Structure 1
């Protein structure tokens, strides 16, 4: 009988899974290696099925209150000249959700989970031993306990995956790109506008978020293939060299990145595993199927958490059957997204001037369509300058 569960990772996937399992009568503990709630501040979309999960959890109104005010997006060239401008209603067509800073999303979900589960920060799994009657877990603090199931919801560099499945290098497929972000408190931006600068092989996005703007660098680099994510010191020079010579506000944010004590920097990586479960241990979210920037990861993780909880409820006496059901159902959601990652990455950050020109032609066509659909003022009055 699945009566207890340990979840590694107090993020989007872990928070939803804890709430969902607890609702189904499972005693849940979450461990998070950070000392407090931490997550990337980058805005993410919560929509469609994921928004319905949020409604069921009673947090949809909180998500709407935490949403960004972005109503349009613009693309500019390396000199800052506008190439195209689109209403957000067109970019997000067909969804019924919201855009929320990832840190706020994780905080809201984990806070909800904390009303039903035990959340322990500044703690992580040191060892786990899977057996026929449970998983014996030793934490970094030295505490130990047995759980009926253990779930790794601890991100792309999952500790649970390393312990139970093998080292990350076996499953990581890098796309030859880096992503780096830095927050910019006090920076002046239009709160309704997200702007992206494009140059061959490089992209810089400025997002107003909910008051503390975020600068994001996404770029191709031959250094990405052999990069060790643990050597973060190298990130400063890599970003500075990649973005030398670009105009608009890029120099300002490169300087911010060089000076900031806390930045995000990693390779754009897709994870591919033949199985997401082994014995009484399973993986969820980015730990199982990271598609990095281009896979609608937060909404997918929320839906996956509900799918996993449903499978446990349907097979309360058989963890293997529960995990097999979860994986079979959720791979139908994740599979198409993973197949499209390489194509989307080329569209978002074209490597050549020709590819960039083709992408901009498409955007200008979308702008013309938006003018016809929404009028010159755009959706909700957003200008199409």
Structure 2
């Protein structure tokens, strides 16, 4: 096997899923992660359709995912007085299998950690192909430089690997006019999951994504994604003057320990690889809150690892075939803006969105289209 020494950037979902397969095929794998430990919180993620289930089954984790699944929860859409306007059914947000992102990440880590080198609290600072073109010289923020045969960017929409190998984020990431936030807090705001809209703003508590979940229209914001105080300031300003229970929810946000704020954005890139560097998951075909990101990451990892094994480690052959097989499947990430669906910009658009949940034939049609996209790939057996 040539090119058997692989560095993966990112220990979320895509990175450990790829490590799982590469280890099975006999590769040596190192995973570097900027965070000092696994992120065990975060929103619920889901899998849809036969293709996703087949890959999980071939990984040997389908039963584990089923044991950890949360079960989709219905969520009431309410007005400012708390009256129910519509109900968003659990099967719409939860797919066939819904699991907390942190639980899935931990499951994949536990499956790979015995045979994989994980380096937490570090990040790549430069990528340079060796003069002979036989590897990639990598420098890190903290660790000593090392040379790897291949480097995989599985480090999300704000990918460091993509920036270093392909160019600045602004060339490939398109802001869709919204931001979202997930807040982990203990306060209980009602017996059932609820969400409330005003034009361009959504506030939800107790729902499938997180204890508190927010989506709001905004130009691109510049802030430190690791500065929780600054994120709380942005969020509370964005929700100033909003009705329903939002003032009390914002007070709880101020007391919360964990907050994650990011833009709703879409990655557009005309190739997934450059030399010995390749992108996987959201770094290559991300669309925030699009509903297919986790499935795309897991299927993409399966295909990328399988093609590398089938090509005997020949990265040029494998990367080209990976792109050929994934490009069409990942087209779902090119469409849609979850921000405009979750936080419509006018009262009329909010009512139209709610009608979809009141008239189930419209919902069934939308879900059928989603299921078609989730299975739209010829899943090769490697």
Normalising by structure 2, report the TM-score: 0.86
Task: Output the aligned Cα RMSD.
Answer: 2.5
What do residues 308-327 of structure 1 show as CA deviations (whole Å, max 9, x unaligned)?
Answer: 11111122242122111111
- Does structure 2 retain, via aligned residues, the 8 Å contact 1:270–1:290? yes
Supply the distance in 2 between the matched residues of 1:65 and 1:189 (Cα, whole angstroms): 27
Deviation at 1:346, TM superposition (A): 2.4
Which residue of 220, 224, 230 maps to 1:225? Answer: 220
Please report how far the alpha carbon of residue 39 of structure 1 lies from its aligned counterpart in structure 2 after TM superposition: 5.4
Tell me the distance in 1 between the aligned counterparts of 2:64 and 2:105: 12
Q: Secondary structure at the match of 2:30?
A: strand
* 8 A Cα contact 1:6 1:149, kept in partner: yes
Give the corresponding residue for 2:195.
196
Could you say if the C-alpha distance between residues 189 and 303 of structure 1 is closer, same or farther in structure 2, counting changes exceeding 3 Å? farther
Q: 1:335 to 1:227 in 2, by over 3 A?
A: same
Q: Is the 8 A contact 2:125 2:141 kept in 1?
A: yes
When residues 40 and 291 of structure 1 are mapped into structure 2, their CA distance, relative to the original with a 3 A threshold, is: farther
Q: Distance in 2 between matches of 1:253 and 1:28?
A: 43
Other-structure match for 1:356: 350
Q: Distance in 2 between matches of 1:59 and 1:230?
A: 32
Compute the displacement of 1:234 (Å).
4.2
Which residue of structure 2 aligns with residue 62 of structure 1? 64
Q: 1:341 aligns with which of 311, 330, 336?
A: 336
What residue is the counterpart of 1:374 in the other structure?
none
Q: Distance in 2 between matches of 1:251 and 1:367?
A: 36
Deviations 1:207-238 (A, max 9, x none): 3569xx521110112xx235345585543333
Q: Alpha carbons of 1:21 and 1:208: their partners in 2 closer, same or farther (altered >3 Å)?
A: same
Q: Secondary structure at the match of 2:65?
A: helix
* Structure 1 residues 228 and 274: CA distance shift in structure 2, 3 A: farther
Match of 2:3 in 1: 2
Confirm or deny: 8 A CA contact 1:28 1:117 kept in the other structure: yes
Please, which runs of 5 or more residues in structure 2 have no aligned partner? 365-382
Of 308-317 and 172-181, more deviation after overlay is shown by 308-317
Q: Is the counterpart of residue 287 in structure 1 residue 283 in structure 2?
A: yes
1:252 to 1:18, Cα distance in 2 relative to 1, 3 A: same
Aligned pairs for 1:211-222 within 5 A:
214-221=211-218
Q: Secondary structure of 2:289's match? A: helix
2 CA distance for matches of 1:218 and 1:56? 36
Q: Secondary structure at the match of 1:217?
A: strand
Aligned to 2:241: 245
Q: 1:71 to 1:239 in 2, by over 3 A?
A: closer
- The aligned residue for residue 129 of structure 1 is 128
Give the length in aligned residue pairs: 359
TM-superposition CA deviations, 1:295-315 (whole Å, max 9, x none): 421111111111111111122
350 and 19 in structure 1: CA distance in 2 versus 1, 3 angstrom threshold: same
Alignment of 1:132-211 (within 5 A): 132-187=133-188, 189-190=190-191, 193-208=192-207
Distance (whole Å) between structure 1 residues aligned to residue 306 and residue 216 of structure 2: 39
Report the Cα offset of residue 367 of structure 1. Answer: 8.9
Is the contact between residue 130 and residue 281 of structure 1 (CA under 8 Å) also seen in structure 2? no
Mapped partners of 1:9, 1:227: distance in 2: 23
Judged with a 3 Å threshold, the aligned counterparts in structure 2 of structure 1 residues 368 and 164 are, in CA distance, closer, same or farther, namely closer
Please, which moves more after superposition, 235-244 or 99-108?
Answer: 235-244
What's 2:296 paired with? 300
SS at match of 1:246: coil
Aligned residue runs from structure 1 range 80-99, under 5 A: 80-89=82-91, 91=92, 97-99=96-98
1:72: Cα distance to partner? 1.8
Contact 1:290-1:297 at 8 Å conserved across structures = yes
Who is 1:119 aligned against? 118
Shift of 1:287: 1.2
Structure 1 residue 15: Cα displacement: 0.8
